[in-house]
Amino acid sequence: MGVVDTDLAAAVAARLAPPGPQLGLSEAADVVVMLRDLTEQAEQHVRDVTGLHGVVGPATVVDRPDWARANAEGFDVVLAPLQDTLLLKQSRAAAVVTAKVTAVQMGALLAWLSSKVLGQYEAFQPEGQAGRLLLVAPNIVETERKLGADPRDFRLWVAIHEVTHRTQFTAVDWLHGHVRSEVNALLSASGLDRPEALVERLKQVASSPRSVGSIAELLQTPEQKVVMDRVTAFMSLLEGHAEHVMDGVGPAVVPTVQHIRDRFEERRRDRGSPLERVLRRLLGLDMKALQYAEGSRFVAQVVASVGMPGFNRVWESPATLPTRDEITAPQDWVTRIHGSAGEITSA
């Protein structure tokens, strides 16, 4: 058993996940077929907009429990570098209890998140296994119904976003290694190789006079903040790039793209019940929405200045990635990478 009992976490999530929209067997089968077909179509559209050539393959269409299990297993992969150290700090009995308690907590969290996610590229896989592109069918159907969106257009729009993420990771050969390195740096800086470290940090948080932000922010050590700034910039880049591509295909590919975008932005602004708004803030999901907005502006302004080939220099190496400051000041990145040849003249 690892740091988390993955099977228990998945079982808890499956039990607690809210039910999805009502679909007959035939309708559900049609949704799966269409999502797989549209994922294949999305490949060429992404390639046309980005100029990147990634791995082509089918999507894995999942339900909410399957998504939760995939993410529980992914978390196990993320924690693997610390696993031996953590387990050595505890007796076997204590380690088993910790793994089960953590699994229940994680399962409850994944159950809630499982109704929110439309799709995902699983970058964190066991060594030697390729990443998977997941599309969460019940959430896509539920969202398109709430938005009053054309099903074919909305599903293609979502597929383009997720295929863009897969293209990023499979067209840029150093990206997987870079992400793993950054996550390991975060874990090393966290001090969580000592079981009592998290308790100590929580006590500091409890006595802090500052207002509550996200759990991720509150539990950061100073060393983590340095790494987190890099990771935040990197995630803003990935999400902004995917947003740019999904809108960049235009109405010739997705005829109702503007309607979908307008309604989707309304949905993002509607944070749901007071409890959901608190959960979003504590989990840092509001920060993710900010990453979409900042990243999208960065990509749009850089592409307008130096074109997509000029923007694609971000993928040359970790040194050409934008910094946290450059994400909000695209001209600084353009000047650093392209010199005075590129100048952003409008927002």
pLDDT at 117: 92
Q: Is the dihedral of CA 97, 102, 105, 110 positive or negative?
A: negative
Query: Does residue 316 form part of some domain?
Result: yes
Answer whether residue 1 is part of any domain.
Answer: no
- Which residues are paired to 132 by β-bridges? 122
Q: Would residue 198 count as lying in a domain? A: yes
Q: Is position 66 within any domain?
A: yes
Question: Can you give the residue range of the structural domain that contains 33?
Answer: 6-341
Tally of domains in the chain? 1
pLDDT tens for the chain, residues 1 to 347? 567 788 999 999 999 999 989 889 999 999 999 999 999 999 999 999 999 999 888 899 999 999 999 998 888 887 776 666 655 566 666 667 777 888 898 899 899 889 999 999 998 877 777 789 999 999 999 999 999 999 999 999 999 999 999 999 999 999 988 988 888 787 776 655 544 444 444 444 444 434 434 445 544 566 677 888 888 899 899 999 999 999 899 999 999 999 999 998 887 666 555 545 545 554 555 555 667 789 999 999 999 999 999 999 999 999 999 999 999 999 999 999 998 655 655 44
Residue 69 located in a structural domain: yes
Q: Per the domain annotation, does 186 fall within a domain?
A: yes
Q: What end-to-end distance do the CA atoms of the chain give, in Å?
A: 52
Name every residue whose Cβ is closer than 8 Å to that of residue 69 and which is 6 or more positions away in sequence. 6, 10, 13, 14
Q: How many CB atoms lie within 10 A of CB 99?
A: 20
**Residue 347 belongs to some domain of the structure:** no
In a domain, 215, yes or no: yes
pTM: 0.83
